[in-house]
Amino acid sequence: MVLRSRYRSTWGIPPGPGQSNWESRLREWKLHGYSGVELNLNFDGKLIENLENTRQFCDSEGLEIAVV
Q: Residue 35 has what pLDDT?
A: 92
Task: Confirm if 51 and 19 have CB atoms less than 8 A apart.
Answer: no
Whether this prediction's pTM lies above 0.95 is answered by no
Burial 5-19 (b: 16+ CB within 10 A, else e): eebbebeeeebeeeb
Reported residue count of the chain is 68
Successive 10-residue mean pLDDT values, the chain, 68 residues = 81 78 87 89 67 86 89
User: Per the domain annotation, does 47 fall within a domain?
Assistant: yes
User: Per the domain annotation, does 12 fall within a domain?
Assistant: yes
User: Per the domain annotation, does 2 fall within a domain?
Assistant: no
Q: Residue 39 has what pLDDT?
A: 83
With residue 39 as reference, give the H or E element that holds it.
Answer: strand 36-39
Provide the number of structural domains found in the chain. 1
